Amino acid sequence: MRFMNSLPIIVLTGIVAGSTGAAFAQSPSPEAFYKDKIVKVIVGHPPGGSYDFYARLAADMLKARLPDVKAVIVENKPGGGGLVATSWFYSQAPHDGTVLGLLPETIGNSQLMEPEVGKWRVQDLRYIMSFASANSVFMRRRNSPSKTPDDMKQRETIVGCTGTNAQSYQYPALLKAMGGFKFKMICGYPGASEYTVALERGEIDMVSSAWNSWRVTHKQQIADGELVPVIQAGLKRNRELPDVALMQELVDDPVARNVIDFASAGSAIGRALVAPPGVPSERIDYLRDLFAKIAKEPAMIEMADKRGLEFDPTPGDIVQGYSDAIAKTPPDVVEKAVAALR
């Protein structure tokens, strides 16, 4: 009888052990998981700008250091200042770690300011690493009628931009609404490359774009004085632009400064690699550890340097904190930012 009573327990134990074994079989180690996989890095902007530059850097670093990966591909999904790609990434991308993204640093702002567009929760995303902060710089042409920020409060300055969801519109629009700047906004350019060509042709007077891009694509024109940085957006001045004023420094109203701080907070996230919701935590940890090692490797640092890219990495968990802080912005600050951009 004692044997008969123990039989169900033996059978049940076998079932549990078998189930546990199946669970382990379904969860390979991160190294084993990526073997022979194709990994994609999604970019929400066209080729030729800083998002694309850093996405390709991330892809090449992964190719070099992700063991036995079959391929790492960069896929551009432009539209809506990067928001089309963000929406797809959040809701449709495989949530297993085979698709990563290099998305706008302002998606947390969009989530709060335009919930009908930003139908995602940045709190659900997982940042892997930021390659560099991303201060935007207002760049004017040499013969622009307005030379200084004070000039721009006195006379009209024509500013090119992509769309109202993009920083190329939002940063100048904030200064127009809250700082008394006489900006005339001309939107509709497909991307930074197109409005920069318009700037060089004299069709517009100024544009706002990431310093990460300017320092690569127009290094000589800036050195020659053909293009002149006049204002920057961020929480602190870029170390390469110590004499260029921040937006906050050009307004007197403390409320306006708080709103601009909120709008500029994404600059600390910068050009960052991120994973969609639902990726197993062990794969997130693995990718963060991998990039933490990459960030210290001379060969990888040289890879960025040869491309002229600023490489000042920030670990993923710290970038996650920046993103989460944006999501916790008080509603009254968000409301004032929305009102300023109407």
Amino acid letter for position 265: A
The answer to whether residues 260 and 171 belong to one domain is yes
Mean pLDDT, all residues of the chain? 91
| CA dist., res. 65 & res. 74, Å (int) | 16
Confidence of residue 20 (pLDDT cuts 50, 70, 90): very low
Q: Of 228, 243, 266, which closes a domain?
A: 266
Tokens of 131: 């390659």
Tell me, yes or no, whether 90 and 183 share the same domain.
Answer: no
pLDDT at 112: 96
Q: What is the pLDDT of residue 2?
A: 43
In this structure, are 171 and 109 located in the same domain? no
Q: How far is CA 199 from CA 177, 209, 220, 333, in A?
A: 23, 12, 16, 33
For residues 128 and 149, state if they share a domain: no
Q: Which of 243, 266, 289 delimits the end of a domain?
A: 266
> Does residue 63 belong to any structural domain of this protein?
yes
Q: Examine the fold and report which residue of 217, 239, 266 is the final residue of a domain before the chain moves on.
A: 266
237 and 278 co-located in one domain: no
Q: What is the mean pLDDT of residues 179-200?
A: 91
Looking up residue 51, the CATH number of its domain turns out to be 3.40.190.150
Banded model confidence at residue 193, pLDDT cuts 50, 70, 90: confident
Decide if 43 contacts 293 (C-beta within 8 A). Answer: no
Three-class HEC string of the chain: CHHHHHHHHHHHHHHHHHHHHHHHHHCCCHHHHHCCCEEEEEECCCCCCHHHHHHHHHHHHHHHHCCCCCEEEEEECCCHHHHHHHHHHHHCCCCCCCEEEECCCCHHHHHHHCCCCCCCCHHHCEEEEEEECCCEEEEEECCCCCCCHHHHHHCCEEEEECCCCCHHHHHHHHHHHHHCCCEEEEECCCCHHHHHHHHHHCCCCEEEEEHHHHHHHCHHHHHCCCEEEEEEECCCCCCCCCCCEEHHHHCCCHHHHHHHHHHHHHHHCCEEEEECCCCCHHHHHHHHHHHHHHCCCHHHHHHHHHCCCCCCCEEHHHHHHHHHHHHCCCHHHHHHHHHHCC
Residue 18: band (very low, low, confident or very high) from pLDDT cuts 50, 70, 90: very low
pTM score, whole prediction: 0.81
185 falls within a domain:
yes
**Do 91 and 202 fall into the same domain?**
no
Of the listed ranges 4-18, 152-166, 324-338, the least confidently predicted one is 4-18
- What's residue 48's pLDDT? 84
The answer to whether position 219 is within a domain reads: yes
Nearest to 308 by CA among 226, 216, 183, 221: 216
Q: Do 54 and 159 have their domain in common?
A: no
Residue 327 pLDDT grade (very low, low, confident, very high; cuts 50, 70, 90) = very high
168 with 194, same domain: the answer is yes
User: Looking at the structure, do residues 256 and 316 belong to the same domain, yes or no?
Assistant: no
* pLDDT at residue 74 tops 90: yes
- Banded pLDDT at 173 (limits 50, 70, 90): very high
Once rounded to an integer, what is the mean pLDDT over residues 118-133?
Answer: 96
Residues 127 and 275 in one domain: yes
Q: Which domain holds residue 256?
A: 136-266
pLDDT at position 49: 85
Q: What span, in angstroms and rounded, lies between the C-alpha atoms of 254 and 70?
A: 53
Say if 8 falls within a structural domain: no
What's the pLDDT tens digit per position in 206-223?
A: 999 999 889 989 999 999
pLDDT band at residue 26 using 50, 70 and 90 as cut-offs: low
Is the pLDDT score of 7 beyond 70?
no
Confidence of residue 263 (pLDDT cuts 50, 70, 90): very high
24 within domain boundaries: no
Residue 16 lies inside a defined structural domain of this protein:
no
Rounded distance between C-alpha atoms, residue 113 and residue 218, angstroms: 32
**Structure token pair of residue 209:** 């774009």
If one counts the domains in the chain, the total is 2
Digit-coded pLDDT (tens) for 28-69: 899 999 999 999 999 999 898 889 999 999 999 999 999 899
Helix (H) / strand (E) containing 279: none
Residue 18 falls inside a structural domain:
no
131: pLDDT confidence band, cut at 50, 70 and 90? very high
Q: What is the mean pLDDT of residues 291-304?
A: 95
Q: Distance between CA 56 and CA 72 in Å, rounded? A: 9
Q: Are residues 130 and 277 located together in one domain of the fold? A: yes
- Kindly state whether residues 192 and 278 are assigned to the same domain: no
User: CB neighbours (10 Å) of residue 273?
Assistant: 26
Q: What is the CATH number of the domain that holds 228?
A: 3.40.190.10
10, part of any domain: no
Q: What is the mean pLDDT of residues 85-110?
A: 96
Read off the pLDDT of each residue in 326-331 and give the average, rounded to a whole number. 96
Residue type, 43: V
